[in-house]
Structure 1
């Protein structure tokens, strides 16, 4: 297997308070954002934690690589990795890979990411799962597409 990592993009919907969920599901339903997620990730591998996989399953047209600490865990139609670097290495044959959650996977993958696609949701829901802080010393906002109730924001890593 090649040691070169693919271009890593983290994609997430994040409330004003940093919350992305409660450990079981997303705290909102934004159909326009779900369509954005689908068209953006289609055809690319997605790296996710096991609980994120449990909440969304394997999505058609995308390779699912699930990171879990559980030895022997498996699910139909997915690849299993036991760390974020192992998952990204498994996707090294792809030009682009998306990290799709949850909170702990985002924290571990942040150092590998070149781009963040963040849907800033104009809500502050209750929830225990958060997105990591976006440090302006490391990231620059390069695009913002504002919609009623949310904005799609692109950040690029400062080089």
Structure 2
């Protein structure tokens, strides 16, 4: 960190008081080194890939089962989420409120667009990393039930 001379001593006092260390402690580094050397990290990554692949497949199948052609799935090939695209005359805020009332947490994907426009096409981030696999179908069913009356039919807006 580069600080003006008059702030350097205050920074060091604060660092000392908070026991702030800019890097991991040596003991943590050594433990991590052994974790990697002994193959535990590779096994963990492999196990997590399998788990998340199964969750992704379950989520995709559940959306297709409940929403059918009233929704599209985007970006389901990587990551711990996918994008659910629907058509509805309700605003994203209204749809998010309905999802919340049904006990389903999702987020608008509008944050990622350069220009946000309110259209009948809505996109939502649906994460699956922290959800039990057994819970996925129930949550998607509740989401569909909350939204079904407000979804536009395929081919129409």
TM-score, scaled to structure 1? 0.26
Higher relative CO (CA 8 A, sep ≥ 6), structure 1 or 2?
1
Structure (1 or 2) with the greater strand fraction: 1
TM-score, scaled to structure 2? 0.26
**Computing the radius of gyration over CA atoms, which structure comes out larger, 1 or 2?**
2
